[in-house]
C-alpha cells in the first residue's frame, strides 16, 4: 500500500500555487515558507489530509506582516493611549505612503544639494503657531523635555513646583526623566499651593530654567494656588512650559486647556507638546518659542538621537496643512447627531432580536488632555457579554463596560464605521 504521506505536496509546488505565490509577494518568502513547512508537518502527522495542505497554509497566514491589528475605538476616549492615541487623517496616511520610498526629506531637488531636514513640516508648524519664532520636532514630548534639560541646564538646576512633578502612564515620572540628564531639580512650593515668590527665592546662579508642567490626567481642587505663565516671565532665566496635549490654539470643547499659541503669548520662552494627542497627528514632540533657544536645542548632540524620521515628518505636515483629522472631528461632533446615529444602529440591531439601545453617554479627551472635561456623547448599549467577542472579532471593536452594559460610544467612531459596528455586533449575536 502506498504511504499517503508520499502525496503531500512538495514545498516548491506549494510556493508556486497562485494564491500562496500571491501571499509571498505581500508577506515575504520566509514567513510563507514557514507556514508551508508547518502545514506539511501536520499532514505527515496525520492531522490533516495531504490534499488539505494548501488550504492549511492559507489559513495560517496573517493578513499582513505586522502583528498590529486595526481596531474600531468605541471607548469614548478620543485620544486612547492603549489604542495608539490619535488616528491619522486620510491625508496623513497618504503622505506616509508617499514618503515610504526615496524622498527629498533632506535634499534640494532644484540645486542638487543638501537641505534642511523636514523643512515642509517645520514651515507648516511655524505657520500654525505664528507666535513661535523657532520650531523643532523630536520623537515625543518626553524627548522634548529631555532635550531642554540637556541643552539648557547641563549640571544645573531646574526650578519646578512640587505640585507639577507628575507621573503619567506606565509609571513614567517627569522628575526621573529630568534627573537622568544630570540636571538637579529644585522643588518649590507645596503639593497644593505654589506662589511666584517661591520661584523667585529659588532662582540663582545655578538655575538653568524654570519649568511649568500642565498636570496630566488629574486635577487638584480645593485650597490651591499656582503661578500663571505670565507671572513667571522676567525672572532672568528661560521659562519652559510643558502643555502636554498638543493643542496649538484654543478649542471651544476644551475650556481651560492650555494651548501653544496662548502660552507663548503669555510669555513662555519655550513650549513643549505632543503631536499625537489633541493635534491629531503622529507621535512627535513639538518645541516652539524663542528662536535662539530653539537653535541651541537643535544643535545639541542629543538632538540627532531624538530626531524624527521621514514618515513622521510627512504625517505631521499633512496633519497641519490637510483636512480636519479624526481627533478634531471627534471633538467637534454634535451630541444630537451622535444620538441619531446610535438610534439608527440600535433600531436595526433590535430588529434582529439583539438587546440594543441608544443611550446618552459621556466621552473624554484622553491622552492626558483636558482632565475632568466631560464630552456629552451617545452610545449603543448592549449586554456586557458582548465586550469580549467584539474585541476578539475581525475587525476588533473595543467599547467599555458600565453598569453591566457594553457601551459602544460613537464620539470616537467615524460615521463611515457605523456599518462595521453593525456587522460586528450581528456576528456576535
Give the residue carrying C-alpha cell 508577506. 27
**Phi, psi (rounded to 5 degrees) for 106:** -140, 40
Q: What is the pLDDT of residues 351-372, one digit of tens each?
A: 999 999 999 999 999 987 787 7
How many CA atoms lie less than 13 Å away from 270 in the CB half-sphere? 31
Residues 41 and 95 in one domain: no
Could you tell me the three cell numbers for 40? 506539511
> In sequence order, what are the residues at sequence separation of 6 or more whose Cβ sits closer than 8 angstroms to the Cβ of residue 195?
189, 225, 227
65: in domain: no
DSSP, residue by residue, 387-401:
HHHHHHSSSEEE-EE
**Of 274, 303, 323, the domain-final residue:** 323
Residues 6+ apart with CB under 8 A from 177: 142, 145, 146, 149
Boundaries of domain holding 388: 71-81+328-428
CA distances from 195 to 19, 151, 161, 198 (A): 69, 27, 9, 5
* CA gap 185, 193 in Å, rounded: 18
The verdict on 298 and 340 lying in the same domain is no
> Domain for residue 340, yes or no?
yes
Q: For the residues of 122-149, what is the DSSP string, one character each?
A: HHHHHHH-TT-SEEEEESSHHHHHHHHH
Cell 458600565, located at residue: 402
423 with 297, same domain: the answer is: no
C-alpha cell belonging to residue 160 = 519646578
Please check whether residue 326 is in contact with residue 86, taking contact to mean a CB–CB distance below 8 angstroms.
yes
**Residue that finishes a domain, picked among 275, 292, 323:** 323
Judge if 336 and 267 occupy the same domain: no
Ranges of residues in the chain with a pLDDT under 70 are 1-4, 169, 216-218
Residue ending a domain, among 258, 288, 323, is: 323
Query: Cβ neighbours of residue 75 under 8 Å, at least 6 residues apart?
Result: 83, 398, 399, 400, 409, 412
Number of structural domains in the chain: 3
Class of residue 1 by CB neighbours under 10 A (exposed 0-12, middle 13-18, buried 19+): exposed
CATH, residue 413: 3.90.1150.180
Q: Which of 239, 305, 252, 312 is nearest to 92 (CA)?
A: 312
Paired with 407 in beta bridges are 381, 400
Q: Do 128 and 264 fall within a single domain?
A: yes
pLDDT, tens only, 66-112: 888 899 999 999 999 999 999 999 999 999 999 999 999 999 999 99
The DSSP bridge partners found for residue 242 are: 213, 272
The answer to whether 410 touches 379, Cβ cutoff 8 Å, is yes
Same domain for 35 and 76, yes or no, is: no
Residue 66 covered by a domain: no
Residue with cell 500571491: 22
Spatial CB neighbours of 17, under 8 Å, sequence gap ≥ 6: 54
Q: Which residue in the block uniquely carries the three cell numbers 524620521?
A: 309
Cβ atoms < 10 Å from Cβ of 169: 11
**Lookup result for grid cell 535634499:** 107
- Round to whole Å and give the CA distance between 186 and 174: 13
The whole model's pTM is what? 0.89
Amino acid at each position: 500500500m502506498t504511504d499517503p504521506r508520499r502525496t503531500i505536496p512538495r514545498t516548491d509546488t506549494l510556493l508556486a500555487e497562485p494564491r500562496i505565490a500571491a501571499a509571498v509577494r505581500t508577506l515575504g518568502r520566509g514567513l510563507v515558507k514557514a507556514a508551508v513547512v508547518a502545514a506539511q508537518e501536520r499532514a505527515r502527522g496525520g492531522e490533516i489530509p495531504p490534499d488539505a495542505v494548501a488550504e492549511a497554509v492559507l489559513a495560517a497566514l496573517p493578513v499582513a506582516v505586522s502583528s498590529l491589528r486595526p481596531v474600531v475605538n468605541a471607548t469614548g476616549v478620543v485620544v486612547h493611549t492603549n489604542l495608539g492615541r490619535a488616528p491619522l487623517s486620510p491625508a496623513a496616511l497618504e503622505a506616509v505612503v508617499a514618503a515610504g520610498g526615496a524622498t527629498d526629506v533632506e535634499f534640494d531637488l532644484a540645486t542638487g544639494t543638501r537641505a534642511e531636514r523636514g523643512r515642509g513640516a517645520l514651515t507648516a508648524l511655524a505657520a500654525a503657531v505664528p507666535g513661535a519664532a523657532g520650531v523643532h520636532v523630536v520623537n515625543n514630548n518626553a524627548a522634548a523635555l529631555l532635550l531642554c534639560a540637556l541643552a539648557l541646564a547641563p549640571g544645573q538646576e531646574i526650578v519646578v513646583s512640587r505640585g507639577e512633578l507628575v507621573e503619567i502612564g506606565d509609571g513614567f515620572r517627569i522628575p526621573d526623566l529630568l534627573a537622568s540628564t544630570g540636571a538637579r531639580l529644585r522643588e518649590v512650593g507645596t503639593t497644593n499651593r505654589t506662589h511666584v515668590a517661591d520661584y523667585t527665592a529659588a532662582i540663582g546662579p545655578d538655575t538653568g530654567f524654570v519649568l511649568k508642567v500642565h498636570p496630566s490626567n488629574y486635577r487638584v481642587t480645593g485650597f490651591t494656588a499656582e503661578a500663571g505663565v505670565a507671572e513667571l516671565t522676567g525672572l532672568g532665566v528661560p521659562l519652559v512650559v510643558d502643555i502636554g496635549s498638543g493643542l496649538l490654539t484654543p478649542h471651544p470643547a476644551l475650556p481651560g486647556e492650555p494651548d501653544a499659541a496662548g502660552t507663548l503669548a503669555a510669555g513662555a520662552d519655550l513650549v513643549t507638546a505632543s503631536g499625537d494627542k489633541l493635534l491629531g497627528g503622529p507621535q512627535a514632540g513639538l518645541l516652539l518659542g524663542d528662536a535662539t533657544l530653539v537653535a541651541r536645542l537643535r544643535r545639541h548632540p542629543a538632538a540627532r538621537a531624538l530626531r524624527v524620521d521621514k514618515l513622521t515628518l510627512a504625517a505631521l505636515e499633512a496633519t497641519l496643512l490637510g483636512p480636519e483629522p479624526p481627533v478634531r472631528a471627534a471633538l467637534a461632533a454634535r451630541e444630537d447627531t451622535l444620538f441619531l446615529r446610535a438610534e439608527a444602529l440600535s433600531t436595526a440591531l433590535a430588529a434582529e432580536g439583539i438587546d440594543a439601545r441608544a443611550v446618552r453617554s459621556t466621552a473624554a479627551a484622553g491622552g492626558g488632555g483636558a482632565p475632568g472635561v466631560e464630552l456629552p456623547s451617545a452610545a449603543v448599549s448592549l449586554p456586557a457579554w458582548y465586550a469580549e467577542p467584539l474585541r476578539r472579532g475581525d475587525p476588533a471593536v473595543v467599547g467599555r463596560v458600565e453598569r453591566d452594559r457594553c457601551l459602544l460610544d460613537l464620539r470616537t467612531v467615524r460615521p463611515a464605521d457605523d456599518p462595521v459596528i453593525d456587522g460586528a455586533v450581528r456576528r456576535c449575536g
